[in-house]
Amino acid sequence: MIETVAPRRYEIRCQLKGYAPFEHSVRLTSITDWQRVAVRMIPYSRRTAWSSNILFAGLGQHYLGASFRGYVYNAAEAGGLLTALAAELQRSDLNNDYLKLADLYNEQLNGDELVRLREEADAKYDEMKDMEEMRDLGLMVAGGAIVVSIIDALLTFPSIEAGSGQLPLDTSNFETPWSDTESDNALHASLRLKF
């Protein structure tokens, strides 16, 4: 069955579980125009889905079309890395302050001044240790985001449903404006389009 559609630009999108979506734009300039579109569905790669998460957590989810989960993993890794960076910068500053106070402590002969400097040095050392713990926590969150996104990509990888497989439709009842020169094992499908 051939239906006439109004001349304009049409967006074609094909989806099949386990395959990357196919998108194509068709422009018809008159009612008598026709276009044949060959759809080549590219299967998703399990290897790409999980290994891209090593580069940055969530890339595998974006690849598989699960962008929301991808953004969650992106944010977790980025947040962990930024927290680790901020904590390391603060730790470095506190370490410098601690070393200066330790030097002053070692140079002092006055007992009261020694006690004050020792207390300040101990406080800076404690703050420095807190920043080290925050840095380590940030790195663990970033690493955890990578590991969880890899596991998620492996567990949610779309698999193709088992069955008898795709069978060519009998096209003898369909009128087509082109000659059928494709091989016998090609898949033909009729689509119901709504505009």
Rounded Cα–Cα distance for residues 93 and 1 (Å): 76
Q: Which residues contact 81 (CB under 8 A, 6 or more apart)?
A: 138, 139, 142
CB neighbour class for 145 (10 Å; exposed up to 12, middle 13-18, buried from 19): buried
Where do the structural domains in the chain lie, given as residue ranges? 1-44+166-195, 45-155
CB neighbour class for 64 (10 Å; exposed up to 12, middle 13-18, buried from 19): buried
Between CA 58 and CA 194, with CA 21 as vertex, the angle to 5 degrees is: 135
pTM: 0.56
Structure tokens at 29: 């300039």
**pLDDT (tens place) for every residue of the chain, 195 residues total:** 566 778 888 888 887 777 778 888 888 888 777 778 888 878 888 888 888 888 889 988 888 888 899 999 999 999 999 999 999 999 899 889 888 888 887 777 677 777 888 888 899 899 989 999 999 999 999 889 889 898 888 888 876 544 444 444 454 554 555 445 544 444 444 444 443
